[in-house]
């Protein structure tokens, strides 16, 4: 009985040992499984979904395109701004140049000077170099161009006068003095080799002008005038009395005659007439009505005022008495206040000019 119990007890101990061994094995297996699970979880934690990678890549590409587009747009804007500034500067220069050209298209230096002074005061043109101011300091020497305005006119066309009319006969010796097409004045024949005109008609151009031309018989646009070469260097010039005498080739007096060099003092209120090429147009005659002496003494006594109808290009024209056809003055410019025109007294010019005195003396001896 005792042996049987001992065997039973020994068997139980063996079974318990076996169970303990199995338990250890199971415990080891559980530890391995737990470790595998931990490793798997760790791998899942750091694994990124490919979809997310694609989205992030697309987003980076989009942002890159946005930045590139912004930078390119900014560069294009800066380029367009620079182009605009250059274009605006060029257009401004063109505008100012056109204003100056229009301002001097008067044929009259003083009127051109007044136009330029207005544009300067209004701020339409600038004179940073001071060169415009240098020209304006002597208004009678401002370069001019002939006017192109068809609406302006002065006087009546000489062409409409009868062929035997006394005014037309005197007018034949009056011509248009062209200065290399850079300006125009009125001039008239005083002898077979000389003409007379206003001083500023040559003083502002003398250094650059290569050729002067006198156009006589220019009474119509339909017929070409006779042209005579004029020496640009003056024989005599006087800016106080406002005259210049030039030598002309070809003896135009033989065909067109001369104006007699007979003068006297102007009388206040007396009737006048002027023969002129205003605006470089065919010869015109201003007379009658208000064409009178309005101030017998002006400009320190060397000029007189008149109200005869003239425009730019008439500088140098003879201002003559309607009563006796004597030359009273050489048309010069407008008065400072713009109320009338000014003519230099021709009696004082004769008294000053040795050339005119010699021509008068020679004519006197010929007549005697």
Question: pLDDT for 296-346, tens place per residue?
Answer: 777 678 999 998 888 888 999 999 999 999 999 999 887 666 678 899 999
- 199 shares a domain with 251: yes
Residue 48 in any domain: the answer is no
- 248 shares a domain with 325: yes
pLDDT digits (tens, 9 = 90+) for 79-122: 777 776 776 676 677 667 777 777 777 666 777 777 787 778 77
Sign of the C-alpha dihedral, residues 138, 342, 356, 155?
positive
Residue 45 in any domain: the answer is no
Structural domain of residue 344, as residue ranges?
A: 156-367
Complete DSSP assignment for 208-232: T---EEEEES---SSSPPEEEEE-S
Residue 277 in any domain: the answer is yes
**Nearest CA to 104 among 159, 74, 146, 140?**
146
Residue 151 in any domain: the answer is no
The tokens for 282 are: 């065919």
- 293 shares a domain with 223: yes
Whether residue 338 contacts residue 294, with contact meaning beta carbons closer than 8 Å, is answered with no
User: Among 64-78, 177-191, 199-213, 255-269, which range has the highest average pLDDT?
Assistant: 255-269
- 2 shares a domain with 65: no
Residue 43 in any domain: the answer is no
**Nearest CA to 313 among 298, 328, 331?**
331
- 308 shares a domain with 175: yes
Residue 106 in any domain: the answer is yes
- 334 shares a domain with 294: yes
Query: If pLDDT is split at 50, 70 and 90, which confidence band does 182 have?
Result: low
- CATH number of the domain to which 206 belongs: 2.40.10.120
Average pLDDT value for residue range 28-53: 67
H-type alpha helices, 214-353: 253-256, 346-352
Residue 131 in any domain: the answer is yes
Query: If pLDDT is split at 50, 70 and 90, which confidence band does 40 have?
Result: low
- 178 shares a domain with 209: yes
Residues forming a β-bridge with 226: 216
pTM: 0.60
Number of domains in the chain: 3
Q: Please tell me which residue, 290 or 253, carries the higher pLDDT value.
A: 253
Query: If pLDDT is split at 50, 70 and 90, which confidence band does 67 have?
Result: confident
Whether residue 161 contacts residue 184, with contact meaning beta carbons closer than 8 Å, is answered with no
- 82 shares a domain with 22: no
Total residues belonging to the chain: 368
Neighbours of 166 (CB within 10 A): 10
């Amino acid at each position: 009985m005792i042996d049987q119990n001992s065997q039973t007890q020994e068997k139980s101990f063996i079974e318990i040992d076996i169970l303990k061994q199995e338990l250890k094995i199971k415990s080891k297996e559980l530890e391995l499984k737990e470790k595998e699970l931990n490793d798997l979880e760790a791998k899942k934690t750091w694994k990124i979904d490919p979809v997310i990678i694609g989205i992030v890549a697309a987003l980076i590409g989009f942002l890159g395109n946005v930045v590139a587009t912004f930078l390119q747009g900014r560069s294009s804007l800066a380029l367009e701004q620079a182009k605009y500034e250059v274009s605006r500067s060029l257009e401004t220069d063109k505008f100012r140049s056109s204003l100056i050209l229009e301002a001097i298209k008067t044929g009259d230096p003083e009127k051109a000077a007044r136009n330029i002074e207005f544009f300067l005061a209004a701020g339409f043109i600038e004179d940073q170099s001071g060169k415009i101011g240098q020209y304006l300091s002597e208004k009678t020497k401002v370069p001019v161009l002939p006017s192109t305005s068809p609406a302006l006119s002065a006087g009546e066309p000489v062409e409409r006068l009868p062929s035997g009319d006394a005014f037309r006969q005197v007018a034949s010796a009056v011509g248009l003095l062209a200065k290399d097409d850079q300006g125009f004045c009125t001039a008239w024949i005083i002898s077979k080799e000389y003409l007379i005109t206003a001083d500023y008609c040559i003083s502002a151009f003398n250094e650059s002008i290569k050729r002067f031309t006198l156009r006589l018989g220019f009474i119509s646009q339909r017929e070409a005038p006779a042209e005579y070469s004029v020496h640009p260097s003056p024989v005599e010039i006087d800016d106080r009395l406002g005259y210049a005498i030039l030598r002309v080739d070809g003896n135009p007096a033989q065909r067109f005659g001369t104006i007699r060099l007979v003068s006297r003092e102007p009388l206040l209120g007396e009737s006048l007439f002027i023969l002129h090429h205003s605006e470089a147009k065919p010869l015109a005659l201003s007379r009658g009505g208000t064409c009178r002496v309005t101030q017998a003494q002006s400009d320190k006594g060397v000029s007189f005022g008149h109200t005869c109808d003239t425009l730019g290009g008439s500088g140098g024209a003879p201002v003559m008495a309607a009563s006796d056809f004597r030359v009273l003055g050489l048309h010069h410019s407008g008065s400072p206040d713009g109320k009338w025109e000014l003519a230099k007294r021709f009696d004082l010019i004769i008294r000053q000019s040795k050339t005119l005195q010699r021509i008068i003396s020679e004519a006197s001896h010929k007549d005697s």
